[in-house]
């Protein structure tokens, strides 16, 4: 008998069991129930020795008889007969294709327990906190204020970050646009300038080859230089134009010059002048002029024994550096003006009334202002005597070289000396000027230092060389590097004779030095004003000056000043 058949006949079995239990217990069977045939005797199972006698209880049921009944029932089901009509009348259930069992698999797959990580764990959300129950009104107000401050700070920081990011993006965009614009605008211009420069270079080379060649035999150094003036000026112009074109891309040093025929130099930059009593300021000015100095050391130093109560003055732009000061040297009061220029054309001479032999005489300060001089000094006062050599703007006006030493200044700014009697006549002087490209001359003397050697003078026709006299001198410290120096009668301090004065200039480092007109004309003018004490306390009118000027065009420094103001 299968498990399913047992479940089907459970009601019938219970009914039969109830009838049997009434017979066993001795109770009367209900009247409606038909009599059943007596059951065969069943042996009783032995009871345990200490067990109670349950046979006398009205609730006692002999289960062994029920087991026998069930066994007989199974036997009848296995072999049906005609005596059991209920079995034949009961319809048989259709057999199922799958039987229920512990290994029952309705879809052919066994149950698989999910892995722990695949299980969805549900967490209970914490119950919301009722702030009104936890905090009082004051605490809630403080919490709201703190929260508002935090939110305001976050909003402010986000706004600042956004503004900074936008500003950087805007600046980057502007820089890119500027660079793109420069590249677009300069590319064709640079190519054009390079082409023009190449053509002019070829033209200059062809011109020089045609006019200056080894077979000419009669071409002197001066004439060659004169013929090359035009190509030189073109080279300077093209160099500066190319420097402007490549501004911001490549650095090309500009070259500034002053025309030889110009009687007035470019106007200096008023903002470049200054005065101070602090040596640190002068050191900063010198540091800014490092490119102009080009490795040369200045005579000025903070260790100088400066004259008490005086200030130092200066001027600096890209073409010139001037430093003026007073110092005590060997108990003398010495006034110094140190000058470094970029080009020889910045060392100049000017005659009163701009003409040789004029009867007009002017103060040195007046002529310096009219010439736009940064610093100036008296020259040789040629109108005071009738001998010596006077050359001006490459022209020889006086040729009496027998008594005085002459100082010639060439286009490179070099000081060249011709001793008294070395040149004998005008023709020889003219040849000397051509050979050495001389622009102008000074005729006073004597020579104090030459090629780094101190020159001792025993006698000289002018200058009262042995007297204690106010002195003025011009010296060279190096290439395009000059010194104007005076010794004056200041605070009753002693003055100097010529040989003493020469020794001072030599000890100051001059490799060349020349004595100029002294006494009351012993004067240095800076920015249009005398800076040294002048004998008798007043200037004396003179016929000529020497001066140093800036070669920087006014539009150059005016543009830079405007840019600084805008910034």
Note the pLDDT of residue 227: 44
Task: Tell whether 374 and 225 lie within a shared domain.
Answer: no
Q: Are 439 and 428 in contact (CB under 8 A)?
A: no
Task: Tell whether 236 and 334 lie within a shared domain.
Answer: no
Q: What is the mean pLDDT of residues 101-118?
A: 54
Note the pLDDT of residue 187: 59
On whether residue 118 sits in a domain, the answer given is: no
pLDDT tier at 18 (50, 70, 90 boundaries)? low
Can you tell me the distance from the alpha carbon of 501 to that of 466, in angstroms, rounded to the nearest whole number?
A: 11
Q: What is the mean pLDDT of residues 386-392?
A: 94
Task: Tell whether 276 and 249 lie within a shared domain.
Answer: no
Q: What is the DSSP letter of 210?
A: H
On whether residue 476 sits in a domain, the answer given is: yes
Note the pLDDT of residue 184: 65
Note the pLDDT of residue 215: 36
Torsion angle of alpha carbons 497, 500, 506, 511, nearest 10°? 30
The count of structural domains within the chain is 3
Buried b (16+ CB within 10 A) or exposed e, 38-77: eeeeeeeeeeeeeeeeeeeeeeeebeebbeebbeebeeee
pLDDT tier at 228 (50, 70, 90 boundaries)? very low
Q: Are 201 and 231 in contact (CB under 8 A)?
A: no
On whether residue 397 sits in a domain, the answer given is: yes
On whether residue 151 sits in a domain, the answer given is: no
Q: What is the rounded average pLDDT for all residues in the chain? A: 78
Instruction: Tell me the per-residue pLDDT of 4-16, one tens digit each, with 9 for 90 and over.
Output: 555 556 666 666 6
| DSSP assignment of 416-480 | EEE-TTTS-SHHHHHHHHHHHTEEEEEE---EEEETTEEPP-S--SSS-TTS-B-EEEEEEEETT
The answer to which of 99-108, 128-137, 198-207 has the lowest mean pLDDT is: 99-108
Boundary residue ending a domain (62, 81, 100):
81
E strands along 115-183, which residues?
none
Task: Tell whether 348 and 495 lie within a shared domain.
Answer: yes
Note the pLDDT of residue 420: 95
Instruction: Tell me the per-residue pLDDT of 445-481, one tens digit each, with 9 for 90 and over.
Output: 999 999 999 999 999 999 999 999 999 999 999 999 9
Note the pLDDT of residue 442: 97
The answer to which of 178-187, 351-360, 503-512, 519-528 has the lowest mean pLDDT is: 178-187
Inform me whether the pLDDT recorded for 214 exceeds 50. no
Note the pLDDT of residue 165: 78
Inform me whether the pLDDT recorded for 97 exceeds 80. no
CA count, 13 A, side-chain hemisphere, 199? 6
Note the pLDDT of residue 494: 93
Task: Tell whether 387 and 284 lie within a shared domain.
Answer: yes
Task: Tell whether 419 and 469 lie within a shared domain.
Answer: yes
On whether residue 423 sits in a domain, the answer given is: yes
Task: Tell whether 232 and 339 lie within a shared domain.
Answer: no
Compute the C-alpha angle 452/453/457, nearest 5°. 140
On whether residue 161 sits in a domain, the answer given is: no
Q: What is the mean pLDDT of residues 367-394?
A: 95
Q: What is the mean pLDDT of residues 377-395?
A: 94
pLDDT tier at 329 (50, 70, 90 boundaries)? very high
Note the pLDDT of residue 484: 98
Domain containing 26: what range?
3-44+54-81
Q: Distance of CA 70 to CAs 6, 45, 75, 253, Å?
A: 10, 17, 9, 128
Can you tell me the distance from the alpha carbon of 356 to that of 365, in angstroms, rounded to the nearest whole number?
A: 19
Can you tell me the distance from the alpha carbon of 200 to that of 208, in angstroms, rounded to the nearest whole number?
A: 12
Compute the C-alpha angle 386/388/394, nearest 5°. 110
Can you tell me the distance from the alpha carbon of 346 to that of 340, in angstroms, rounded to the nearest whole number?
A: 10
Report the Cα 458 to chain-centroid distance in Å.
Answer: 61
Task: Tell whether 315 and 389 lie within a shared domain.
Answer: yes
pLDDT tier at 296 (50, 70, 90 boundaries)? very high
Q: Distance of CA 120 to CAs 112, 115, 116, 123, 124, Å?
A: 16, 11, 9, 10, 13
pLDDT tier at 205 (50, 70, 90 boundaries)? low
Inform me whether the pLDDT recorded for 150 exceeds 60. yes
Q: What percent of the chain has pLDDT over 70?
A: 63
Number of helices (H), then strands (E), in the chain: 14, 19
Boundary residue ending a domain (66, 81, 96):
81
On whether residue 117 sits in a domain, the answer given is: no
Task: Tell whether 488 and 532 lie within a shared domain.
Answer: yes
φ/ψ (deg, to 5) at 478 = 175, -170
pLDDT tier at 350 (50, 70, 90 boundaries)? very high
pLDDT tier at 225 (50, 70, 90 boundaries)? very low
On whether residue 497 sits in a domain, the answer given is: yes
Question: What three-state secondary structure class fits 347?
Answer: strand
Task: Tell whether 276 and 247 lie within a shared domain.
Answer: no
Task: Tell whether 201 and 335 lie within a shared domain.
Answer: no
Neighbour count for residue 181 (Cβ, 10 Å): 10
Instruction: Tell me the per-residue pLDDT of 488-544, one tens digit each, with 9 for 90 and over.
Output: 988 889 999 999 999 999 999 999 999 999 999 999 999 999 999 999 999 999 999
Inform me whether the pLDDT recorded for 213 exceeds 50. no
- Which runs of consecutive H residues, i.e. helices, occur in 115-136? 131-134
Q: What percent of the chain has pLDDT over 90?
A: 51
Contacts for 502 with CB less than 8 Å, ≥ 6 apart: 448, 449, 454, 455, 456, 457, 473, 513, 515
Can you tell me the distance from the alpha carbon of 498 to that of 509, in angstroms, rounded to the nearest whole number?
A: 17
Note the pLDDT of residue 264: 94
Helix %, strand %, coil % for the chain, to 5? Answer: 40, 20, 40
Inform me whether the pLDDT recorded for 23 exceeds 90. no
Task: Tell whether 385 and 522 lie within a shared domain.
Answer: yes
């Amino acid at each position: 008998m299968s498990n399913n058949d047992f479940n089907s006949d459970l009601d019938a079995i219970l009914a039969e069991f109830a009838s049997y239990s009434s017979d066993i217990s001795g109770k009367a069977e209900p009247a409606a129930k038909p009599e059943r045939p007596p059951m065969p005797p069943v042996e009783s199972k032995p009871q345990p020795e200490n067990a109670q006698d349950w046979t006398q209880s009205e609730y006692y049921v002999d289960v062994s008889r029920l087991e026998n009944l069930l066994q007989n029932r199974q036997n009848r089901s296995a072999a049906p007969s005609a005596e059991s009509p209920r079995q034949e009348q009961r319809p048989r259930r259709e057999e199922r294709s799958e039987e229920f069992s512990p290994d029952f698999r309705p879809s052919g797959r066994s149950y698989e327990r999910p892995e722990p990580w695949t299980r969805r764990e549900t967490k209970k959300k914490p119950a919301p906190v009722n702030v009104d129950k936890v905090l009082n009104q004051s605490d809630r107000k403080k919490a709201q204020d703190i929260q508002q401050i935090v939110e305001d700070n976050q909003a402010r920081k986000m706004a600042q970050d956004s503004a900074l990011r936008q500003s950087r993006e805007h600046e980057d965009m502007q820089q890119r646009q500027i660079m793109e614009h420069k590249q677009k605008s300069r590319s064709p211009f640079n190519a054009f300038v390079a082409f023009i420069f190449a053509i002019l270079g070829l033209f200059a080379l062809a011109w020089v080859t045609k006019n200056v060649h080894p077979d000419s035999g009669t071409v002197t150094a001066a004439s060659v230089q004169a013929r090359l003036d035009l190509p030189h000026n073109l080279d300077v112009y093209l160099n500066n134009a190319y420097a402007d074109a490549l501004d911001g891309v490549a650095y090309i040093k500009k070259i500034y010059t002053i025309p030889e025929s110009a009687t007035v130099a470019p106007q200096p930059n008023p903002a470049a002048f200054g005065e101070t009593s602090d040596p640190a300021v002068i050191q900063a000015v010198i540091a800014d002029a490092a490119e102009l100095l080009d490795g040369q050391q200045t005579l000025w130093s903070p260790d100088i024994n400066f004259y008490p109560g005086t200030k130092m003055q200066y001027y600096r732009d890209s073409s010139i550096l001037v430093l003026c000061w007073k110092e005590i040297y060997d108990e003398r009061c010495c006034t110094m003006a140190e000058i470094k220029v970029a080009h020889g054309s910045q060392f100049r001479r000017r005659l009163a009334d701009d003409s040789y032999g004029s009867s007009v005489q002017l103060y040195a300060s007046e002529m310096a202002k009219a010439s736009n001089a940064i610093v100036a000094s008296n020259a040789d006062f040629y109108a005071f005597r009738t001998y010596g050599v006077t050359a001006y703007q490459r022209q020889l006006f006086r040729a009496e070289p027998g008594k005085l030493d002459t100082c010639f200044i060439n286009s490179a700014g070099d000081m060249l000396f011709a001793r008294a009697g070395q040149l004998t006549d005008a023709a020889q002087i003219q040849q000397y000027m051509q050979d050495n490209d001389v622009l102008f001359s000074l005729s006073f003397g004597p020579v104090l230092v030459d090629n780094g050697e101190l020159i001792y003078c025993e006698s000289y026709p002018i200058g009262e060389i042995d007297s204690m006299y106010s002195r003025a001198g011009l010296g060279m410290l190096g290439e395009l590097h000059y010194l104007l120096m005076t010794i004056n009668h200041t605070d009753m301090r002693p003055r100097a004779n010529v040989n003493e004065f020469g020794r001072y200039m030599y000890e100051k480092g001059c490799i060349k030095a020349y004595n100029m007109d002294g006494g009351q004309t012993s004067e240095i003018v800076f920015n249009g004003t005398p800076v040294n004490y002048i004998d008798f306390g007043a200037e004396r009118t003179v016929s000529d000056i020497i001066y140093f000027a800036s070669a920087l065009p006014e539009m150059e420094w005016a543009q830079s000043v405007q840019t600084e103001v805008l910034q």
